């Protein structure tokens, strides 16, 4: 999981690269239009920016995964019980 935030960009990153990464984050399907070398360079910059986040979003996700799972189950259990699938069982 990579996360690109403007505040996490390295200080030596070019403005054009910064704009490209922000645009690609908003429209990820545009990665397909880039050349191989440009993709590799931008992915390296994205990974570098992602690693500078503290705490990293994956760490936060792992820490709260069980809590989020129980919240989602509480939220969707009433809808599941009212579904035709549940009533058929």
Q: Worst-scoring range by mean pLDDT, 9-13, 59-63, 76-80?
A: 9-13
Q: What is the mean pLDDT of residues 43-57?
A: 76
Mean residue pLDDT of the chain comes to 82
**Segment 9-45, tens digit of pLDDT:** 777 889 898 899 889 888 989 999 999 999 999 998 8
DSSP letter for each residue of the chain: -----GGGS-TT--HHHHHHHHHHHH-GGGGGGS-HHHHHHHHHHHHHHHHT-SS-HHHHHHHHHHHHHHHHHHHHHHHHHTSHHHHH-
What is the predicted pLDDT for the residue at 1?
A: 43
Percent of the chain with pLDDT over 70: 81
């Amino acid at each position: 999981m990579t996360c690109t935030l403007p505040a996490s960009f390295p200080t030596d990153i070019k403005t054009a690269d910064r704009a490209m990464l922000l645009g690609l984050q908003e429209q990820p399907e545009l990665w397909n239009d880039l050349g191989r070398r440009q993709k590799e360079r931008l992915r390296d910059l994205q990974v570098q920016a992602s690693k500078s986040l503290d705490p990293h979003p994956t760490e936060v996700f792992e820490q709260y995964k069980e809590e989020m799972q129980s919240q989602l189950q509480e939220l969707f259990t009433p809808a599941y019980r009212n579904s035709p699938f549940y009533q058929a069982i």
